[in-house]
Amino acid sequence: MLTYLDHAATTPMRATAVEAMLPFFSERFANPSGSHRFARDARKAVDEARDQVAELAGVKPGEVVFTGCGTESDNSVVTGVAGTVVCPAVEHHAVLQPVEHRGGVVVGVDTAGHVDLDQLAAALTPDVALVSVMAVNNEVGTITDIATVAAVVRRAAPNAVLHTDAVQAACWLDLRTITPHVDLLSLSAHKFGGPKGVGVLVGRPGASFEPLLVGGGQERERRSGTHNVAGIIGMSVALRATDNEREEENARIAILRDALVDGLRSRLDDVHETVARSDKVAGSAHVCFDGIENEALLYLLDEAGVCASAASACASGAMEPSHVLAAMGVPNERARGALRLTLGRTTTAADVAEATTAVVDSVGKLRAGRAA
Ligand code: PLP
């Protein structure tokens, strides 16, 4: 039995989403861009999914662009707006890398990972075209006060568009409270019980961008490529269920997360909570243990059947120093002992108990090994 505490990496799919997708792999397989009745059936399903996603995000259906993943949504924005781009140093690499590639401006953050508003204001010169600030950080769980960021951007750079990567926000924050403040917003279905390989880019009126993919002109020329019909349907079902359960889940998961972190702190010395719980989403636990290397810790946890992570999941699986912790000013020695445990819809009290025991045992072993 695995104890899965890596919900920020990906979430298990909801059975209702899987079920809703199945007909689109078989009898309803048509391409929604076609002109026959079979195609119209698929188009109707995509349109209904668009209506749902729009309602749940608090925007109009025409503002919803279906994409291939959160990375694509982020890349589309950063590469698709002409002019200087600005983002904080703790962004996901899907934003940070294209910003750096374009020679954009990367601004600092405080010790909790919030964008430094003074540095942001100073960076907002008249040639700034795009500001991208994530709604929730994937590594440490910090929530951005997007209304405050928007106020700074609107005042200093009234012509700039504001994008938020809300990929890690959908489970925990009501998207309707975010969209009124931004021009563009990215989502990814697999982070909220939907399938991998489908995302959303919300584009508010006036926020235009050069499409990353051109060709068939789907999504009103904003994202070419045959629709992933099943994926889009699965995503809309998962987002509806997530929205229905969000309030209850926030309360339930916060209790489990607190039990997890408090359990570790009471049974181990020198455990540092990276960000105060009041600053972060309920599903995120991030701690640093003095005197250990997280690579070794993850190995022992894996042996014990606990799925955890050190920083964000990356394709190579290699442990690179976290750019997020570095930007927050966490010293390197401390960052080396960082552990991210992320909870979600399927997490139970038994998972928390298992994980607590496994982490306490593993950290104990590693520390004893060092002392010997
Ligand atoms: N942005 C954030 C904050 C993420 O956590 C992730 C996924 O790890 C992404 C973007 C990329 O999303 P996707 O996996 O759909 O490409």
Helix pair angle (229-267, 349-371), 10° resolution: 50
Pocket of ligand 1 contains residue 70 by CB under 6 Å: yes
**What number does the ligand 1 atom closest to the CA of 196 have?**
15
**What number does the ligand 1 atom closest to the CA of 137 have?**
3
- Mutation choice for ligand 1 from 11, 67, 90, 92, CB with most ligand atoms inside 8 A: 92
Residue closest via CA to ligand 1's atom 8 equals: 9
How remote is the CA of residue 171 from the centroid of ligand 1, in Å? 14
Give Cβ neighbours of residue 257 (< 8 Å, ≥ 6 apart).
Answer: 277, 282, 283, 284, 285, 343
**What number does the ligand 1 atom closest to the CA of 8 have?**
5
Helix pair angle (93-101, 70-80), 10° resolution: 20
Task: Give per-10-residue mean pLDDT for the chain (372 aa).
Answer: 96 98 98 97 98 98 98 98 97 98 98 98 96 98 98 96 98 98 98 98 92 97 98 99 98 98 98 98 98 96 97 55 95 96 98 98 94 70
Question: Could you write out the three-class secondary structure of the chain?
Answer: CCEECECCCCCCCCHHHHHHHHHHHCCCCCCCCCCCHHHHHHHHHHHHHHHHHHHHHCCCHHHEEEECCHHHHHHHHHHHCCCEEEEECCCCHHHHHHHHHCCCEEECECCCCCECHHHHHHHCCCCEEEEECCCECCCCCEECCHHHHHHHHHHHCCCCEEEEECCCCCCCCCHHHCHHHCCEEEEEHHHCCCCCCCEEEEECCCCCCCCCCCCCCCCCCCCCCCCCHHHHHHHHHHHHHHHHHHHHHHHHHHHHHHHHHHHHHHHCCCEEECCCHHHECCCEEEEEECCCCHHHHHHHHHHCCEECECCCCCCCCCCCCCHHHHHCCCCHHHHCCEEEEECCCCCCHHHHHHHHHHHHHHHHHHHHHHHC
Residue closest via CA to ligand 1's atom 12 equals: 70
Residue 360, CA atoms < 13 Å, CB-side half-sphere: 16
Pocket of ligand 1 contains residue 345 by CB under 6 Å: no
**What number does the ligand 1 atom closest to the CA of 134 have?**
3
How remote is the CA of residue 167 from the centroid of ligand 1, in Å? 6
Pocket of ligand 1 contains residue 188 by CB under 6 Å: yes
Pocket of ligand 1 contains residue 76 by CB under 6 Å: no
Helix pair angle (229-267, 37-57), 10° resolution: 30
Rounded CA separation 106/123 (Å): 9
Rounded CA separation 149/167 (Å): 18
Pocket of ligand 1 contains residue 98 by CB under 6 Å: no
Looking at residue 316, its pLDDT comes to: 47
Name residue, tokens 């430094």: 116
How remote is the CA of residue 208 from the centroid of ligand 1, in Å? 22
Tokens describing residue 31: 């391409």
Catalytic residue list contains 288: no
Q: Which of 69, 87, 171, 314 is catalytic?
A: 314
Looking at residue 305, its pLDDT comes to: 98
- Mutation choice for ligand 1 from 93, 164, 165, 167, CB with most ligand atoms inside 8 A: 167
Looking at residue 315, its pLDDT comes to: 46
Residue closest via CA to ligand 1's atom 5 equals: 138
Rounded CA separation 331/9 (Å): 24
Q: How many degrees, rounded to 5, is the angle at CA 187 between CA 83 and CA 314?
A: 85
Closest to 241 in 3D by CA, of 186, 305, 170: 170
How remote is the CA of residue 366 from the centroid of ligand 1, in Å? 31
Pocket of ligand 1 contains residue 69 by CB under 6 Å: yes
Overall pTM > 0.85: yes
**What number does the ligand 1 atom closest to the CA of 199 have?**
15
